[in-house]
Amino acid sequence: MSTVRSATPGVEQQDIDEAHAFNAQLEALIAGQPAVYTLPPEVSRRARREGKGIFPTPVFLEDARDIEIAGRGGPIKVRIIRPDQKPTGIYLHIHGGGWTLGAHDMQDVGLKLLANETGLCAASIGYRLAPEHPYPAGPDDCEDAVLHLLEHGAALLDAPARFAIGGESAGAHLAVVTLLRLRDRHGIKNRIAAANLVYGAYDLNGTPSQILWGDRNLVLSTPIMHWFGNNFLPGAGFEQRRDPDISPLYARLGEMPPALFTVGTMDCLIDDSLFMAERWRAAGNRAEIAVYPEGVHAFNAYPTGLARKANTKQFEFLRNSLT
């Protein structure tokens, strides 16, 4: 039976108070920096890699390694992070960054924690970024990498052929697009056991929360979403942006794996998760949505109690889905 649940698992008032105070500090930090849409993407990419942006400085683990997979658009790098114990499966990870920023090797610490807490070997996909490589380059790379790993990942990674997929923000969007392509283009429906979808964007014309949020910048804002969308879809009109391969909220969603949707109440993408979780459930799939009070976009990337509890919930979901 399909189910949908909304919860803030284990969240206490002290977590909410801490997040509220953190948000004020974050907003002040952001206000002191140029808006991301006023800078060339390469400037923001370099700042993130050097820890000079609004996110914690990335740590590159010595035991992580990159492999390359052949794709239609050229070699695709995949970052492999193994658990300390023998792997129990493979987590197909797609990073966020508005289809414009971020990289496959910039969340080693978080993926190492996920690997150790779930037993899954993480494989993070380095897809091509916009605006240099607009749609469909990024989705094509994710499709190609996931197809290759479904066929060869067990041997390549010395891990059982048991799979989950997930990502954050644009990565959650690309994870859903990849699932739809697997089903519709390749007839693959049951190979991936779970989808961990963290504050994704599923309607690139804009859900009400995207449109109504305005200029307030808490990692995302309405102008920033417009900039990201235009990088990914230059010149695309309203009807093109409603194509399910671009805005999966409009897709037929039958035969999808169980999914956990994670989002915060201070995220301009909150409606995307709320709407998609309900459509996921209505299509006959299992769906759970965890909504975190005072959670901004990317809140679980920061060192707060709210982040730890959201990440723990995701780990539990992945463990339970692959047992």
The predicted pLDDT at position 9 comes to 65
Continuous segment of H or E residues that includes residue 295: strand 287-296
More confident residue, 92 or 5: 92
∠ at Cα 77 (75, 80), nearest 5°? Answer: 145
The predicted pLDDT at position 169 comes to 98
> Can you say how many angstroms the Cα of residue 44 is from the centroid of all Cα atoms in its chain?
19
∠ at Cα 122 (316, 312), nearest 5°? Answer: 20
Range of 209's domain?
A: 4-321
Tokens read off for 281: 């459930």
Condensed to tens digits (0 to 9), the pLDDT of residues 223-267 reads 999 999 999 999 999 999 999 999 999 999 999 999 999 999 999
State the average pLDDT over residues 88-114. 98
The predicted pLDDT at position 1 comes to 38
pLDDT > 70: percent of the chain: 98
Alpha helix locations (H) across the chain? Answer: 13-31, 41-49, 108-118, 137-157, 170-186, 208-213, 222-232, 238-241, 270-282, 305-321
**40 preceded by a cis bond (ω within 30 of 0):** no
How far is the C-alpha of 55 from the C-alpha of 51, rounded, in Å? 7
State the average pLDDT over residues 297-302. 97
| Neighbouring C-alpha atoms within 13 Å toward the C-beta of 302 | 22
State the average pLDDT over residues 121-140. 98
Give 8's pLDDT tier (boundaries 50, 70, 90): confident
The predicted pLDDT at position 242 comes to 98
Give 7's pLDDT tier (boundaries 50, 70, 90): low
SS3 content of the chain, % helix, strand, coil (to 5): 40, 20, 35
CB 138 within 8 A of CB 174: yes
CB proximity list for 102: less than 8 A, separation 6 or greater: 48, 95, 96, 129, 170, 171
CB proximity list for 306: less than 8 A, separation 6 or greater: 11, 15, 16, 18, 19, 264, 292, 294, 295, 299, 300
The predicted pLDDT at position 323 comes to 79
Report the chain's mean pLDDT, rounded to a whole number: 96
Condensed to tens digits (0 to 9), the pLDDT of residues 175-234 reads 999 999 999 999 999 999 999 999 999 999 999 999 999 999 999 999 999 999 999 999
| Total tally of structural domains belonging to the chain | 1
How far is the C-alpha of 154 from the C-alpha of 157, rounded, in Å? 5
The predicted pLDDT at position 97 comes to 98
Condensed to tens digits (0 to 9), the pLDDT of residues 41-78 reads 999 999 999 999 899 999 999 999 999 999 999 999 99
How far is the C-alpha of 180 from the C-alpha of 253, rounded, in Å? 8
CATH number of the domain residue 267 falls in: 3.40.50.1820
The predicted pLDDT at position 2 comes to 47
Q: Which residues pair with 290 in a beta bridge?
A: 7, 262
End-to-end CA distance of the chain: 19
